[in-house]
């Protein structure tokens, strides 16, 4: 059985991986002056997103985390969770597209690709690497909570973008709820990074369209923002209550077979959280 010191070292390595990811993204923000709320700022962030994707999926490759496991949804409720989020984000996307770009339709594909890159990078790191890695060392419920809190806290860096402290605090708390929902979808779809990345990317796409519309004299789409807030927070609370009865494990999230022989914090798939 691993000692507390061994487990602490393994979790610290996971934290170091997340820190490496944040360094890459922060470098991009410094280059574009934290201007990721405009098309130009998003464009200059793209090379750093590509670097973050390579970094994240190299870790996923090393630890043999599945990107799209060959597993069905674990329960009908899981399917409805995915459908609910897709409907919510899809409705917001249609409204945002109708009001956000003022006829500049050629901009949409570039923004969509960039926001999907964000979804792939962040979900690969926070669900694929962090949540799965923690779940191999502790209960899935604890790992889900810790990874969600970490996901939210790291959004506190937006204070350096000269955003109001109050707004950053709201964003941190909100993204904890979003991370909890996405973590649940990830677990209950057998560990599918692709599905949560799609949801995350679509949500970011809607958020960008909403922000763009407000800054260019269009509708602020405030009701879409509040609808999203209420839906994600409400769903997170429902899942928190539901998860008191237990959370499925993440066995399907990594491939069968031995782990690579390189040193690392994550034990093989045949091991239990207690060793």
The answer to whether residue 273 is domain-embedded is no
What pLDDT score was predicted for residue 180?
94
The answer to whether residue 65 is domain-embedded is yes
What pLDDT score was predicted for residue 86?
76
What pLDDT score was predicted for residue 99?
62
Confidence band for 10, pLDDT divided at 50, 70 and 90: confident
What pLDDT score was predicted for residue 66?
77
Summarised one tens digit per residue, pLDDT across range 244-262 is 888 877 765 655 433 433 3
* Whole-angstrom Cα Rg for the chain: 19
The answer to whether residue 194 is domain-embedded is yes
To the question of pTM greater than 0.85 for the whole model, the response is no
Cα(112)–Cα(107) distance, rounded to whole angstroms?
9
* Mean pLDDT of the residues in the chain: 77
Summarised one tens digit per residue, pLDDT across range 105-162 is 667 788 888 889 999 999 999 999 999 989 888 889 999 999 999 999 988 887 776 7
Query: Encoding tokens for residue 90?
Result: 């899809």
The answer to whether residue 134 is domain-embedded is yes
Portion of the chain with pLDDT greater than 90, in percent = 22
The answer to whether residue 209 is domain-embedded is yes
Least confident range from 17-26, 81-90, 228-237: namely 81-90
How many independent structural domains does the chain possess? 1
Cα(176)–Cα(23) distance, rounded to whole angstroms?
20
User: Which among 45, 92, 56 is positioned nearest to 213, based on CA atoms?
Assistant: 92
For Cα atoms 160, 89, 68, give the angle at the middle one, nearest 5 degrees.
90
Cα(245)–Cα(223) distance, rounded to whole angstroms?
34
Q: 199 with 119: CB under 8 angstroms?
A: yes
The answer to whether residue 260 is domain-embedded is no
* 273 vs 9: which has the higher pLDDT: 9
The answer to whether residue 60 is domain-embedded is yes
SS3 content of the chain, % helix, strand, coil (to 5): 75, 0, 25
Q: 96 with 107: CB under 8 angstroms?
A: no
Q: Which domain holds residue 23?
A: 4-253
Instruction: Using alpha carbons, list the distances in angstroms from residue 31 to 24, 28, 86, 117, 201.
Output: 11, 5, 33, 18, 22
The answer to whether residue 259 is domain-embedded is no
Summarised one tens digit per residue, pLDDT across range 164-194 is 888 889 889 999 999 999 999 888 887 889 8
* 92 vs 247: which has the higher pLDDT: 247
| pLDDT over threshold 60, residue 273 | no
| pLDDT over threshold 60, residue 50 | yes
| pLDDT over threshold 80, residue 88 | no
What pLDDT score was predicted for residue 123?
95
Choose the most confident range, by mean pLDDT, from 34-48, 50-64, 187-201, 250-264: 50-64
């Amino acid at each position: 059985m691993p000692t507390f010191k061994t487990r602490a070292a393994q979790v610290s390595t996971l934290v170091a991986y997340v820190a490496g990811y944040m360094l890459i993204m922060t470098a991009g923000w410094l280059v574009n002056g934290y201007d990721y709320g405009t098309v130009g700022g998003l464009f200059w962030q793209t090379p750093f997103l590509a670097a973050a994707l390579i970094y994240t999926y190299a870790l996923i490759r090393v630890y043999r985390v599945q990107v799209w496991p060959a597993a069905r949804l674990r329960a009908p409720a899981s399917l409805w969770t995915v459908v609910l989020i897709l409907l919510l984000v899809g409705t917001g996307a249609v409204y945002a597209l109708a009001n956000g770009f003022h006829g500049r339709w050629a901009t949409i594909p570039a923004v969509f690709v960039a926001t999907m890159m964000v979804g792939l990078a962040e979900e690969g790191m926070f669900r694929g690497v962090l949540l799965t890695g923690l779940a191999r060392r502790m209960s899935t419920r604890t790992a889900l909570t810790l990874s969600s809190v970490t996901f939210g806290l790291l959004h506190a860096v937006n204070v350096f973008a000269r955003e109001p402290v109050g707004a950053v605090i709201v964003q941190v708390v909100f993204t904890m709820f979003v991370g909890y929902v996405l973590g649940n979808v990830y677990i209950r779809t057998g560990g599918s990074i692709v599905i949560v990345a799609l949801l995350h990317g679509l949500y970011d796409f809607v958020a960008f369209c909403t922000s763009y519309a407000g800054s260019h004299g269009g509708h602020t789409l405030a009701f879409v923002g509040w609808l999203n807030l209420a839906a994600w927070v409400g769903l997170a609370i429902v899942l928190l209550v539901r998860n008191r009865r237990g959370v499925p494990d993440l066995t399907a999230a990594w491939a069968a077979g031995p782990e690579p022989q390189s040193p690392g914090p994550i034990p093989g798939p045949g091991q239990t959280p207690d060793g």
